[in-house]
Amino acid sequence: MDQKKTPLFEALKNHVQKSPFSLHVPGHKSGTVFSEKALLYYKEILSLDVTELTGLDDLHEPTGAIFEAEELLSNLYGSYKSFFLVNGSTVGNLSMVLSVCGANDTVLVARNCHKSIMNALKIAGAKPVFLSPEFDTDVQVPTLVHEKDIIQAIEQFPNAKAVILTNPNYYGHTNELENVITYAHGKGIPVLVDEAHGAHFGVGQPFPESAVKSRADIVVQSAHKTLPAMTMGSYLHFQSDFISLERLEFYLKSLQSSSPSYPIMASLDLARSYLAEIKDQGVTELYNQIKEYHRHLSKIPQLSIVVPRDKKIVQDPLKILLQSRSSLSGYELQSLLEKNGIYTELSDALNVLCILPLAPQDLKRFTRRLGQVLAGVQSLNEEKRIVEFNKLESNFPHSYFELKSKKEKLVKIEESINQLSAETIIPYPPGIPLILQGEVITEAHLDQFMMLQRLGARFQGNGSTKNINIYDCD
Amino acid sequence: MDQKKTPLFEALKNHVQKSPFSLHVPGHKSGTVFSEKALLYYKEILSLDVTELTGLDDLHEPTGAIFEAEELLSNLYGSYKSFFLVNGSTVGNLSMVLSVCGANDTVLVARNCHKSIMNALKIAGAKPVFLSPEFDTDVQVPTLVHEKDIIQAIEQFPNAKAVILTNPNYYGHTNELENVITYAHGKGIPVLVDEAHGAHFGVGQPFPESAVKSRADIVVQSAHKTLPAMTMGSYLHFQSDFISLERLEFYLKSLQSSSPSYPIMASLDLARSYLAEIKDQGVTELYNQIKEYHRHLSKIPQLSIVVPRDKKIVQDPLKILLQSRSSLSGYELQSLLEKNGIYTELSDALNVLCILPLAPQDLKRFTRRLGQVLAGVQSLNEEKRIVEFNKLESNFPHSYFELKSKKEKLVKIEESINQLSAETIIPYPPGIPLILQGEVITEAHLDQFMMLQRLGARFQGNGSTKNINIYDCD
């Protein structure tokens, strides 16, 4: 197939070039009705912001330009069928989970999954078995669930409806999934992969391969995160012998706007073509430039580029995790950069994550400025270790469906042992849930909780108080 | 509050004016990495297409610019709390339904509700009681459910978890809902209103009032349909003593992208301010112009502007439904207009729907062109009646939750009497479901089905074949 083609973008452009007169939605009428003060930013895009007119196809029943654009997408990644998503990877994750499980069904789920996976499990009413990722004490972040832990869980729960993994994680740490997928398929269990941060995978060595290549049943990618697509634009790839395509399509149709955004959809078409071109030309120039940034950054004594100890984990070259080697915390480092006009992706107590562009681009302004702003800061030789995170047993005795009918009550934290938590507590670092809603709270949980509090971790959820919500099981 | 303010748009503009350097998502890096051929359309908007950076707040935990923008929205419409939606009214409808009902719960639902309501009921596993709208034999479309039918249903099902209505319908037909809402509230039942086509309501007489004014518990509006907002931008207004705000917020957070689009959100901020300005200035000029279009259109003998017979129904002035008074069908009329560069909202066998801009705008090009293209077509004096649609009894014995575990089988249509339909059949016209998935198929259904086929109605679903999917209840 001719990957240079962008059928949806062309169809829109053809429509615009007719100077059509709009007596239909949207209300801005191709930008002729709009706030004057914002027209500079919006004027051109609004001409593409139309509805399902003749020739522009329909995302939810594609037969024309969108059908063709999705075929090109499927062809590029090598899936059986691929979909444009306009509600981010969130809707991809929701749809893939809901298409494999319902009330009381057991599923095996990586504990470091995105909250959209957790929300999907709640909506489905499923009974999750959580698999803990490894914690890398150098990088001071959770990496990925170990292959042997996944296989062991499959042995223990042969009736599980699916294995649900995040790969790569937010930091670009990536595992080869082929063994796990082959093993799961041998047991008749599908593997769903949230590959939100890996839409550019498969572009060529040394970039990792996509889980589509490893035959994962469904793979969801945020095109907008690393490819040149508008925010909320994502892809979903399907190639399963175990999952009903009809059921998946029901959720994709139900959970996405019946008026999907054409600017976002056309940007997905353009991004696919852009990626195909890079794949065609090779990534040598891009990778050489990334190595040069590494050289520049490694000369800054107040920083260190950190990658996982586990040699099996491949680091996505587009992500650089900078660890502070000074008195500055990761938060302070990020804030200092922002004051100098440089905006990074995230920070934690130790680290700042940078996402590089997928095209050779002059980042000297960044590396030079970084060196300058840190020049006055005293560097420290030793690494700062903040957290020793223990993997804890997870005991999740009821399904989310059963939990729906239980009442909650607030108790003192020391009275919560052996009770069912009605809330989720996520410490940063390490950024994965310490206690998940529905899990039995143990003494080990509380020990870890207090240790993290002492070490200055921040908490999402109720972590700062002395009380916790539990399910009242009397 | 100062409705001229647009805090979210201003925050974005301030960010852009710093010429920030992006090491974060999205991958287009403020438009510096993008397909050359599309830059003309995308360049300016991509500078606003950013992520949750410092100063730009977070849709899912708003405390800054988005919080302030949503407060202005709530203030303008007079709700208790209002929300920006980035996944269209679809996500508003899904969230409001899921926040009131779960597996096996009875809800009273207008049969002409949007498919997102129907999908929400399926996902919830609810047990719907469907209320049929009136069918207007002049306009040849279904209008709205009669007040007495709603009140009677509440009497019959006092344990219903909610009344779910669409108001206005697609054609701008609007009912005053105050009596129904007061009655339902007296029985402890919340009323949810899909007001997708009425985001501009309350702008001033003769435009209808919003259901927010009538104290509906939740009201969902497609800002993008009639206000100057980008497609997928919607509002949800909450003011309920019966519904958990926490539960509603769980679904809004879960079912919308965790990377919501800033261009869409800022356009919602701008659209609210735009509407406030119109409200302030009055709609006299706009309404006078609409009346002038009516005068021009009424001189074209091949057309008639049609409104419902029922005098209690208020017609939204922004919608004009043109009925053919010639040998042309509605479909042919729409197609003829498109060939002349004029794109309308929808057509059916008889009618073409036009949505006017919410600002005085020169539509002479439209009315003149319409007169010209129809000049050669012979006009007919009598009205063309295509359908006599009978309201049929609805018997929905199982919840969607119970139906999930039932098997389906395909049977000949004449063998389906007294069976449970496993599919939905929607004839156009009249555009409301004849048979809904889960309903008992009766002889009256089949009579109506065959009558519609003879009259040349089109069908969504399996309407053209001789077979139908039923649930196998043996």
pLDDT > 90 fraction of chain B, expressed in percent and rounded: 83
The long-range contacts involving A445-454, CB below 8 angstroms and separated by at least 24 positions, are: A445/A392, A446/A413, A446/A414, A446/A416, A446/A417, A448/A389, A448/A390, A448/A392, A449/A413, A449/A425, A451/A388, A452/A387, A452/A427
Map residue A364 onto helix, strand or coil: helix
Q: Where are the alpha helices (DSSP H) in B322-424?
A: 330-339, 364-374, 400-403
State CA B101 to chain mean position distance: 21
CB contact under 8 A, B115 and A258: yes
Most A CBs within 10 A among B14, B41, B347, hence the mutation to make, goes to B41
Going by their DSSP bridges, the two strands A426-428 and A458-460 should be labelled as antiparallel
Q: What is the pLDDT of residue B30?
A: 94
List phi, psi (to 5°) of B185.
Answer: -60, -35
Q: Does residue B463 surpass a pLDDT of 60?
A: no
Please name every residue paired with B191 in a beta bridge, in sequence order, or none if there are none.
B163
The number of beta carbons lying within 10 Å of the beta carbon of residue B376 is: 7
Most A CBs within 10 A among B43, B60, B166, B261, hence the mutation to make, goes to B261
Token couple for A122: 């709640």
- Cβ contacts of A265 on chain B, cutoff 8 Å: none
B346: nearest CA partner in chain A: A24
Q: Where are the alpha helices (DSSP H) in B110-244?
A: 115-124, 147-156, 178-186, 223-226
Supply the DSSP string of A251-278, one letter for each residue.
HHHHHS-SS--HHHHHHHHHHHHHHHHH
CB contact under 8 A, A35 and B88: no
State CA A365 to chain mean position distance: 28
Of A45, A255, A258, the CB nearest to B42: A45
To the nearest whole Å, the CA of A233 is away from the closest chain B CA by 9
- Cβ contacts of B260 on chain A, cutoff 8 Å: 88, 231-232
- Cβ contacts of B13 on chain A, cutoff 8 Å: 41
Are B262 and B333 within 8 A, CB to CB? no
Angle separating helix axes A115-124 and B245-254, nearest 10 degrees = 120
- Cβ contacts of A270 on chain B, cutoff 8 Å: 34-35, 37-38
B22: nearest CA partner in chain A: A343
Of B21, B88, B259, the CB nearest to A341: B21
Q: How far, in Å, CA of B101 to CA of B109, rounded?
A: 12
B269: nearest CA partner in chain A: A35
pLDDT tens-place string over residues B209-225: 999 999 999 999 999 99
- Cβ contacts of B6 on chain A, cutoff 8 Å: 35, 37-38
User: Quick check: A223 contacting B, CB < 8 Å?
Assistant: yes
Radius of gyration (C-alpha) of chain B in whole angstroms: 24
Number of residues written out for chain B: 474
Q: What is the dihedral of CA B238, B239, B242, B247, to 10 degrees?
A: 30
pTM over 0.95: yes
Contacts for B220 with CB less than 8 Å, ≥ 6 apart: B85, B89, B92, B93, B96, B193, B194, B195, B196, B234, B235, B236, B237
Q: Where are the alpha helices (DSSP H) in B58-207?
A: 65-77, 88-98, 115-124, 147-156, 178-186
Supply the DSSP string of B16-66, one letter for each residue.
HHT-PEEESSSTTTTTTSS-GGGHHHHHHHHTT---S-TTS--TTS--SHH
User: Quick check: A235 contacting B, CB < 8 Å?
Assistant: no
Q: Does residue B191 surpass a pLDDT of 90?
A: yes
CB contact under 8 A, A231 and B25: yes
Map residue B448 onto helix, strand or coil: helix
Q: What is the pLDDT of residue A451?
A: 84
Q: Given the structure tokens 């004051």, which residue do they identify?
A: A339
List the one residue out of A194, A184, A192 whose CA is nearest residue A152.
A184
How buried is residue A414: exposed, middle or buried, by Cβ count under 10 Å (0-12/13-18/19+)? Answer: exposed
The stretch B426-454 carries a mean pLDDT of 87
pLDDT tens-place string over residues B35-54: 999 999 999 999 999 999 99
The stretch B67-95 carries a mean pLDDT of 98
Q: Given the structure tokens 């562009």, which residue do they identify?
A: A357
Q: How far, in Å, CA of B160 to CA of A372, rounded?
A: 66
Contacts for B169 with CB less than 8 Å, ≥ 6 apart: B112, B133, B141, B142, B143, B144, B197
User: Quick check: B7 contacting A, CB < 8 Å?
Assistant: no
CB contact under 8 A, A21 and B255: no
Q: How far, in Å, CA of B88 to CA of B301, rounded?
A: 38
User: Quick check: A404 contacting B, CB < 8 Å?
Assistant: yes
Residues 121-180, chain A: which have Cβ within 8 Å of B?
A: 122-123
To the nearest whole Å, the CA of A152 is away from the closest chain B CA by 31
Q: What is the pLDDT of residue B438?
A: 96
B115: nearest CA partner in chain A: A254
Residues 59-88, chain A: which have Cβ within 8 Å of B?
A: 86-88
Token couple for A231: 């925010």
Q: How far, in Å, CA of A50 to CA of A266, rounded?
A: 11
To the nearest whole Å, the CA of B191 is away from the closest chain A CA by 22
B250: nearest CA partner in chain A: A119
Are A194 and A93 within 8 A, CB to CB? yes
Contacts for A43 with CB less than 8 Å, ≥ 6 apart: A31, A34, B44
List phi, psi (to 5°) of A66.
Answer: -75, -40
Q: Tell me the HSE value of A197 on the side-chain side, using a 13 A CA sphere.
A: 26
Q: How far, in Å, CA of B394 to CA of B278, rounded?
A: 43
CB contact under 8 A, B34 and A273: no
User: Quick check: A116 contacting B, CB < 8 Å?
Assistant: yes
Of A291-295, B143-147, B376-380, the least confident: B376-380
Are B187 and B158 within 8 A, CB to CB? yes
Q: Does residue B227 surpass a pLDDT of 80?
A: yes
Of B37, B87, B343, the CB nearest to A257: B87
Most B CBs within 10 A among A255, A354, A364, hence the mutation to make, goes to A255
CB contact under 8 A, B228 and A33: yes
- Cβ contacts of A345 on chain B, cutoff 8 Å: 23-25
- Cβ contacts of B262 on chain A, cutoff 8 Å: 231
Q: Given the structure tokens 């043996």, which residue do they identify?
A: B474
pLDDT tens-place string over residues B121-138: 999 999 999 999 999 988
CB contact under 8 A, A230 and B256: no
- Cβ contacts of B115 on chain A, cutoff 8 Å: 258
Q: What is the pLDDT of residue B457?
A: 75
Q: Does residue B464 surpass a pLDDT of 70?
A: no
Of B44, B261, B345, the CB nearest to A230: B261
Which of the pair, B448 or A249, is modelled with greater confidence? Answer: A249
User: Quick check: A285 contacting B, CB < 8 Å?
Assistant: no
Q: How far, in Å, CA of B38 to CA of B468, rounded?
A: 46
Of B26, B229, B253, the CB nearest to A224: B26
Of A223, A228, A344, the CB nearest to B24: A344
Are B131 and B154 within 8 A, CB to CB? no
CB contact under 8 A, B27 and A51: no
Per-residue pLDDT of chain A (474 residues; tens, 9 = 90+): 999 999 999 999 999 999 999 999 999 999 999 999 999 999 999 999 999 999 999 999 999 999 999 999 999 999 999 999 999 999 999 999 999 999 999 999 999 999 999 999 999 999 999 999 999 988 988 999 999 999 999 999 999 999 999 999 999 999 999 999 999 999 999 999 999 999 999 999 999 999 999 999 999 999 999 999 999 999 999 999 999 999 999 999 999 999 999 999 999 999 999 999 999 999 999 999 999 999 999 999 999 999 999 999 999 999 999 999 999 989 999 999 999 999 999 998 889 999 999 998 888 888 888 999 899 898 887 766 666 777 888 999 999 999 999 999 999 988 999 999 999 988 876 678 899 999 999 999 999 888 888 877 778 766 566 899 999 976
Angle separating helix axes B364-374 and B284-298, nearest 10 degrees = 10
Angular region, B466: left φ>0, alpha ψ -120 to 50, beta rest: alpha
Supply the DSSP string of B273-326, one letter for each residue.
HHHHHHHHH-SHHHHHHHHHHHHHHHT-TTEEE---S-TTSEEPTTEEEEEE-B
Q: How far, in Å, CA of B471 to CA of B474, rounded?
A: 9
Q: Given the structure tokens 């049609």, which residue do they identify?
A: B306
Residues 17-36, chain A: which have Cβ within 8 Å of B?
A: 18-29, 32-35
Q: What is the pLDDT of residue B363?
A: 86
Going by their DSSP bridges, the two strands B173-174 and B314-315 should be labelled as antiparallel
To the nearest whole Å, the CA of A54 is away from the closest chain B CA by 8
Q: Given the structure tokens 């004014």, which residue do they identify?
A: B213
Q: Give the pLDDT band of residue B385 (cuts 50, 70, 90).
A: low
